[in-house]
Structure 1
Amino acid sequence: MLCFVAACSNGEKGEGGEEGVSTYTFFNASSTGKDVNTAETKIGKMFEEETGVNFDIEHIVGDSNQKIGTMIASGEYPELLNAQNATNDVIDAGGFLPLNDLIEEHAPNLRKLYDPIWEKMKQEDGNIYILPSGVSNGYIKPPNIGQSAFFIRRDALKEQGYPQPKTIDEYFDIIEKYAKAHPTINGADTIPYTILQYDWHVGQLFDPPAFLSGEQEGIMVDNETLDVSVHHNQDITKNWLQKLNELNSKGLLDKESFTQNYDEYLAKISSGRVVGWFGPQWESAAALDTLEQDDDPYNDFMGFPIVFEEGIKDQYLNPESYVTSPGTGLTAGTDEEDQVKIIKFLDHIAKVDSQKLITWGIEGETYEVNEEGRFYRTEEQIEQVSNKEFADEFGFTALGWYWPIMSGTFDDGNSVDPEVQPEVAQLSYDEVDKEFLEAYNIEVFTDLFTEPDPAPWFPFWDAVIETGSEAQLYDQQSRDLIKQSYPDIILADPAKFDAQWNSFKQEFEKLPYKAYEQVIEDSVKKEASLME
């Protein structure tokens, strides 16, 4: 077993030097961030006192697949691992331990938390290896955009009289007008529209065709028949790439879109020089948090559910979902005594009181409860928990997502996520937020978005794709082909666009995408049947 810290122990002195405390390592390939020991946070210290366990959390630096590949090759792993896109590779290599019996014997709270998706979590061999975050306990429409949308700089909207773009042409028109009027922002060249395409961050380029045509994220699923098709070789993708080609020909596309890394992308967003971008809000959250501290509140962004044409019903908001991967698992090489300690720690996290502590904090300190039992935060508390330093020190950052966490609502009707609680959302809005809400005649920002249609199969990326299969071959080869070809198509002379697209399509048609579609379709139909 790979111990990243000297304190990896069986009841010996932990990192803090306390007798009886066991310190383990949790390597998180799904997130960048500051490495920290959970006991250095307020919540984590409480959990340590209650369980005798803490974790050194290490985050990915560089290529996550390369890092996980090294673990697989050596057979040495941290005790807890979130392997992100390489999850199935670790399972295939025997790197994750089966959790069924551990949970049944030692973790009644985990068993209850995962009960709605217990069968869905099982691999083909019947074993559960991964504990996902976000186990749904009922749908609640978020007041603010946390997932994908087409975002645009607020200053551009204000300057042009608060237009409400609905189509992609209207959206890019706003960007073009603003960029021409403001060739520089904050003393540097304006970046009209940028794209992140780095490592596993590919959704900003891959996903828009589906959203623009009124589909839910990532793939085409007929909700009546549950038939599945990829869209990379379809006209909707051609139309999207042609829009970007036109944008580039006008000098409005960031030329570094296909070479910048994640940190460089975040730096651009936080600089206030970017006018528009597409993607999930959480992917750019670190940069947006920086912008919120800016002296100019109009540097921030507002998201819109953009479609190709008027009349298409948008489906940007995620439906109630039952995500089972990626997630976190215990790794091979962890001895039985440590397995029990770790699973009991995770079971402690799964208690309702612990879940409320992780998401809401401490009553009277980070939230209040009114006479009707509704949770809320005062303006002072909202400002406090919004401070990254406070969130880090309290433990909201270290012990939130990527651990076993519920989503939706608690049984008492309060939202699991405080930001989704109406009482909190309304108080969270500053004067500029209220200015935009009033200008668009809405109460919360998602009022512009259509409520999602039910999709019991969602999310499709839960499908198990066997290593070495045609579907897996397509998954990798299509990513490689797209990463190579899309920039050439987008950056081509407009007169050569059709030729570039046809060349790509010919190469794409050689890939075993039908095998991939069949695997996803089988999974979609199976997942839907498990929720009946």
Structure 2
Amino acid sequence: MLKRKSRILAFALMVMLLVTSACTNAEKSGKESNSSENGEVLTYTFFNASSTGKDVNTGDTKIGKMFEEATGVNFDIEHIVGDSNQKIGTMIASGEYPELLNAQNATADVIDAGGFVPLNDLIEEHAPNLRKLYEPIWEKMKLEDGNIYILPSGVSNGYIKPPNIGQSAFFIKREALKEQGYPHPKTIDEYFDIIEKYAKAHPTTNGAKTIPYTLLQYDWHVGQLFDPPAFLSGEQEGIIVDNETLDVSVYHNKDITKEWLGKLNQINKKGLLDKESFTQNYDEYLAKISSGRVVGWFGPRWESGTALDTLEQDDDPYNDFMGFPIVFEEGIKDQYLNPESFVTSPGMGLTTGTPEEDQIRIIKFLDHMAKIDSQKLITWGIEGETYDVNEEGRFVRTQEQIDLVNKEEFRDEFGFSALGWYWPIMSGTFDDGNSVDPNVQPEVAQLAYDEVDKEFLKAYNIETFTDLFTEPEPAPWFPFWDATIETGSEAQLYDQQSRDLIKRSYPDIILSNPSDFDSEWNKFKKDFEKLPYKAYEEVMEESVKKEASLMK
């Protein structure tokens, strides 16, 4: 799939003169040229099964052109259309691959088929910047055979707190907070007290019944019911990990889950729980959130994103929500914000069938991308055009620059769209303290706040909305869901059976008469104890300890 695009003038003599001159200059400067020997620009193909973006040649973008001039290489980026697994399956069957491939969910299949080449030696010999970029997770990237086949995107380089809540929190309608004098709930009881007061004062909203608290249990959307016990007790979501011993346990059969379900049982008794919580589908849930009738809910903000986007465009900005790191009782240190993430897949790999000389050229291109100056170009752009640097060395953007880089047409032409995520790129912070992601830089984020945002920031004496949240403890094993669970194993069996049991049993517990709560809980716990959760804990613990041992 290699293409050669000649940039040389048609006249043979001039070609010879130019090549000779270029070689002489290169020899004098001592710089190594990554372009082909005759001065052609080499075009390779990168097929990205993780995105449905626009197909483009990187050399047709501003950043890509700069990289092309520095390396003599550009890429035709092709994106998935239709079923990605079917497309990758065809590649595997034919043995014909693009030079660079992100196979998304089929990555393991391509590796098993011998479709990716080992990258260890290529990087060690030809890509010092790439080697430095991946240093923190170098050992984690290796498979059991000791080889590295995939280069993931988003390699962490230090933690930076995001300015806004994108992950899980307990959300409350802003109007309820404003009406009650901007209370700052810290415990679950304080949280539901605010909701109850507002619901009593406003039994209807926009001519329909107010919904004090709703939750979603539909298809794979189960976190709103499953995750709170961990967060409320100061743990990360999903499993409980002892930070000292790295011992792992599930919590669905623990007292913290009983306490959470007990709170829902209590608010149901008071008429505060949405009666359709366990029967509504995702679209119905989103419709309720966007209607302005809901006072409170728990979950990741992205899960309700489309509904919240609708509210942000509403004439009444107080219909939007504010998130809080609610815990069971004061003194518990919240851990709602995700720690540094060290996910090592999916990512891109070099494919078999690519000649060795082209493998070297491609890895050198990626090495050029891994340079700090290139990383800043990919994420921030060009100083004086898409960002400025203040006297303290902080990267900032004017409102005009923000408006410019938010335009899809500009992002496409500049190269932000084509050369950002999915390529080797760091996350977190640069060594100078600036955020890799401009949207996470506080100075930039604050410009995006409207007057009502600023009203609430001032009322709670914070600069960004995550200032209410505690910085997460280091968790080298995070995220736990990156662990490999063998298909057909007891651990995999538990994963499915526990979900089925919980989705079936929790509604009975929550909606039961308070006098029957204990008996319903005990019935569930008895059934849960029959599941092979110990096997699941063993697999997760092995993964957690392994991942922690591989981090530097």
TM-score band (shorter)?
0.7 to 0.9
Which residue among 101, 111, 114 is the counterpart of 1:80? Answer: 101
Which residue among 156, 159, 170 is the counterpart of 2:190? Answer: 170
Q: 1:136, 1:406 within 8 Å by CA — same for their partners in 2?
A: yes
Shift in alpha-carbon separation, 1:380–1:157, aligned structure 2, 3 A: farther
Which residue among 139, 146, 154 is the counterpart of 2:159? Answer: 139
Name 2:140's counterpart in structure 1.
120
Name 1:328's counterpart in structure 2.
347
Q: 2:347, 2:422 within 8 Å by CA — same for their partners in 1?
A: yes
State the Cα distance separating 1:379 from its structure 2 match: 2.6
CA deviations on 1:141-185 (whole Å, 9 max, x unpaired) are: 333323322122212211221111111122223233334444554
Q: 2:227, 2:237 within 8 Å by CA — same for their partners in 1?
A: yes
Give 3-state SS (helix, strand or coil) of 2:139's partner: helix
Shift in alpha-carbon separation, 1:267–1:169, aligned structure 2, 3 A: same
Name 1:519's counterpart in structure 2.
539
Shift in alpha-carbon separation, 1:525–1:235, aligned structure 2, 3 A: same
* Matches for 1:53-202 after TM superposition, within 5 Å: 53-58=75-80, 68=85, 75=92, 80-81=101-102, 83=104, 98-104=118-124, 107-185=127-205, 190-197=210-217, 200-202=220-222
Name 1:486's counterpart in structure 2.
506
CA deviations on 1:376-434 (whole Å, 9 max, x unpaired) are: 01133334445677667766566544443312211232111223323223333322222
State the Cα distance separating 1:452 from its structure 2 match: 2.3
Q: 2:213, 2:272 within 8 Å by CA — same for their partners in 1?
A: no
Structure 1 segments unaligned to the other structure (5+ residues): 1-8, 14-18, 62-66
State the Cα distance separating 1:187 from its structure 2 match: 5.9
Q: 2:63, 2:415 within 8 Å by CA — same for their partners in 1?
A: yes
In structure 2, distance between residues paired with 1:284 and 1:370: 36
Q: 1:120, 1:324 within 8 Å by CA — same for their partners in 2?
A: no
Give 3-state SS (helix, strand or coil) of 1:53's partner: strand
Shift in alpha-carbon separation, 1:403–1:280, aligned structure 2, 3 A: farther
Give 3-state SS (helix, strand or coil) of 2:542's partner: helix
Shift in alpha-carbon separation, 1:419–1:74, aligned structure 2, 3 A: closer
State the Cα distance separating 1:136 from its structure 2 match: 1.6
In structure 2, distance between residues paired with 1:282 and 1:372: 33
In structure 1, distance between residues paired with 2:117 and 2:296: 44
Shift in alpha-carbon separation, 1:87–1:217, aligned structure 2, 3 A: farther
In structure 1, distance between residues paired with 2:409 and 2:273: 36
Letter of the 1:204 counterpart: Q
Name 2:12's counterpart in structure 1.
none
Which residue among 252, 256, 279 is the counterpart of 2:273? Answer: 252
State the Cα distance separating 1:11 from its structure 2 match: 2.1
Name 2:439's counterpart in structure 1.
419
Q: Does 1:312 pair with 2:304? A: no
Shift in alpha-carbon separation, 1:133–1:477, aligned structure 2, 3 A: farther
Which residue among 2, 17, 26 is the counterpart of 1:10? Answer: 2
Q: 1:38, 1:399 within 8 Å by CA — same for their partners in 2?
A: no
In structure 1, distance between residues paired with 2:185 and 2:414: 40
In structure 2, distance between residues paired with 1:428 and 1:166: 27
Tell me which structure has the larger Cα radius of gyration.
2
In structure 2, distance between residues paired with 1:188 and 1:83: 44
Aligned Cα root-mean-square deviation (Å): 3.9
Letter of the 1:206 counterpart: F
In structure 2, distance between residues paired with 1:396 and 1:307: 39
Letter of the 2:373 counterpart: D
* Matches for 1:217-228 after TM superposition, within 5 Å: 217-228=237-248
State the Cα distance separating 1:107 from its structure 2 match: 4.5
Shift in alpha-carbon separation, 1:264–1:46, aligned structure 2, 3 A: farther
Name 2:54's counterpart in structure 1.
36
In structure 2, distance between residues paired with 1:518 and 1:99: 32
Name 1:27's counterpart in structure 2.
49
State the Cα distance separating 1:510 from its structure 2 match: 2.2
Q: 1:350, 1:404 within 8 Å by CA — same for their partners in 2?
A: yes
Shift in alpha-carbon separation, 1:103–1:147, aligned structure 2, 3 A: farther
Q: 2:196, 2:272 within 8 Å by CA — same for their partners in 1?
A: no
Identity of paired residues, percent?
73
Shift in alpha-carbon separation, 1:162–1:361, aligned structure 2, 3 A: same
Structure 2 segments unaligned to the other structure (5+ residues): 6-40
State the Cα distance separating 1:192 from its structure 2 match: 3.6
State the Cα distance separating 1:439 from its structure 2 match: 1.0
Between 417-426 and 38-47, report the one with greater CA deviation.
38-47
Shift in alpha-carbon separation, 1:202–1:82, aligned structure 2, 3 A: farther
Between 505-514 and 44-53, report the one with greater CA deviation.
44-53
Shift in alpha-carbon separation, 1:227–1:69, aligned structure 2, 3 A: farther
In structure 1, distance between residues paired with 2:236 and 2:531: 24
Shift in alpha-carbon separation, 1:172–1:451, aligned structure 2, 3 A: same
State the Cα distance separating 1:74 from its structure 2 match: 9.4
Which residue among 220, 223, 230 is the counterpart of 1:210? Answer: 230
Give 3-state SS (helix, strand or coil) of 1:145's partner: coil
Shift in alpha-carbon separation, 1:122–1:435, aligned structure 2, 3 A: same
Name 2:465's counterpart in structure 1.
445
